[in-house]
């Protein structure tokens, strides 16, 4: 006997109705219809307008803030200056290599390289996160039950708060960069160039250069926020998916002898299994689409992570007994910024992988022994697909998880140890 679900929303009535609302959505007046919307507009105006975005702060600080044209002009200007300074500093280091200069100027040089990499990607792939998220239809966070919705909102609040506080730490680091000290010529290579080539304007130009730290404090963490945004949204979708798997038999009496021969029960289970297997395929579609977009970025960003780690090491190697106190605060705040961003990035990838592992366990805990052969075959297909977790695995060696984090930490430790011994 089939009882219409109360707490468990019917998939065929609930989800399809929500997804069909996209056809009824009226885009802004300056657009001529859905087909004329760009990838970014489809995601912003359709998905977010329909379902809302629990990670709105992450989206704003990691993506939206860089979309306006004035922001792009500022990024292009800073990129041009950084490329020029980096080229001159590289030539200087090669032509007259000295261990002391490598340590003193190394921290800022590596930070500039990381900032340039971030700006290049922000300019060349300005719609990166919108392109990634447009490959999957997001189910509303209230699609499953109140418990799952509360869990998602609670985690979203924590993530948004973390991103906001981490951004504040970046701004504080930028403030420490603007503080004048009598030894800044020894640590800011551009200031050294200004003093040598433009001594009459070196103070003004040096201050202008240091102000760019306020912009780079956003660009250096932007891609970390983007990965957090994408992976956590998919993790939330897996929360909802797992809840439906858990309650797949909801609405039927728990009598094995009766439901095994109940055609309505078997038919509805078959329908729900097919919907779930399609949804599970959507997760892999998202993963494959994301990898196709980001496959050329994982190696440079992993290398950039090593550079940032080395920059942290150089920042503390600069500090001596006679060093101004501001150098310590500058190194400390940058260490907090870099470490927290790195750890959150790795944790975001790992939590996605861990939650996707739960799909297999939830499927195995269903009352599959009450199902007939055809339904068991469908379940077997989903089980085969869910053996391998959903993660951002670019190669056998590169996946955003704890293993990648440990590999980068080891590389950074080795490099900093070498330079420490040289010093």
Confidence band of 12 (pLDDT split at 50, 70, 90): very low
Confidence band of 15 (pLDDT split at 50, 70, 90): very low
pLDDT per residue as tens digits for the range 350-395:
899 889 999 999 999 888 888 888 999 999 999 999 988 888 776 6
Cα separation, 423 vs 104, in Å, equals 11
On the question of pLDDT at 156 being above 60, the answer is: yes
* Domain-located, residue 14: no
Cα separation, 167 vs 55, in Å, equals 15
* Domain-located, residue 45: no
* Domain-located, residue 39: no
* Domain-located, residue 314: yes
- How many domains are there within the chain? 1
* Domain-located, residue 291: yes
pLDDT per residue as tens digits for the range 169-227:
999 999 999 988 777 888 889 999 999 888 888 889 999 999 999 999 999 999 999 99
* Domain-located, residue 32: no
Cα separation, 143 vs 61, in Å, equals 27
Measuring CA to CA, which residue among 200, 296, 279 is closest to residue 242? 279
Q: Residue 352: phi, psi to the nearest 5? A: -65, -45
* Domain-located, residue 153: yes
Structural domain range at position 398: 53-422
Measuring CA to CA, which residue among 237, 242, 249 is closest to residue 8? 249
Average pLDDT of 62-88?
94
* Domain-located, residue 1: no
């Amino acid at each position: 006997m089939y009882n219409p679900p109360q707490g468990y929303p019917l998939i065929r009535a609930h989800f399809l109705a929500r997804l069909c609302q996209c056809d009824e959505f009226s885009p802004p007046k300056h657009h001529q219809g859905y087909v004329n919307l760009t990838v970014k507009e489809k995601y912003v105006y359709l998905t977010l307008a329909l379902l809302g975005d629990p990670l709105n702060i992450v989206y704003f600080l990691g993506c939206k803030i860089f979309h306006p044209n004035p922001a792009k002009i500022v990024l292009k200007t800073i990129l041009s200056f950084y490329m020029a300074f980096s080229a001159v500093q590289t030539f200087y280091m090669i032509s007259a290599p000295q261990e002391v200069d490598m340590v003193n100027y190394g921290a800022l040089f590596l930070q500039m390289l990381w900032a340039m990499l971030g700006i290049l990607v922000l300019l060349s792939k300005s719609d990166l996160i919108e392109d990634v998220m447009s490959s999957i239809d997001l189910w509303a966070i209230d699609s499953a039950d109140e418990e799952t919705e509360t869990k998602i909102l609670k985690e979203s609040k924590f993530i948004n708060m973390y991103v906001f506080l981490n951004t504040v730490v970046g701004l504080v680091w930028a403030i420490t960069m603007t503080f004048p000290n009598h030894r800044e010529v020894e640590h800011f290579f551009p200031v050294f160039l200004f003093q040598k080539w433009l001594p009459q304007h070196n103070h003004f130009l040096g201050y202008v250069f240091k102000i760019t730290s306020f912009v780079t404090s956003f660009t250096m963490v932007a891609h970390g926020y983007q990965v957090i945004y994408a992976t956590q949204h998919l993790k939330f979708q897996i929360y909802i998916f797992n809840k439906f798997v858990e309650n797949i038999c909801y609405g039927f009496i728990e009598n094995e002898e009766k439901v095994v021969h109940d055609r309505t029960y078997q038919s509805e289970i078959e329908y729900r299994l097919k919907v779930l297997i399609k949804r599970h395929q959507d997760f892999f579609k998202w993963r494959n689409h994301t990898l196709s977009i980001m496959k050329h970025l994982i190696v440079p960003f992993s290398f950039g992570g090593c550079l940032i780690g080395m920059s942290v090491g150089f920042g503390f190697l600069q500090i001596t007994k006679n060093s101004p106190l501001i150098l310590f605060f500058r190194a400390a705040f940058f260490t907090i910024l870099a470490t927290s961003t790195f750890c959150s990035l790795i944790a975001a990838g790992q939590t996605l992988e861990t939650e996707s592992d739960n799909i297999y366990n939830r499927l195995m805990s269903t009352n599959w022994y009450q199902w007939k052969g055809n339904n068991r075959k469908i379940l077997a297909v989903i089980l085969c697909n869910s053996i391998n977790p959903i993660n951002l695995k670019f190669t056998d060696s590169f996946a955003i998880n704890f293993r990648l984090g440990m590999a980068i930490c080891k590389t950074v430790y080795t490099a900093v140890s070498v330079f420490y011994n040289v010093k």
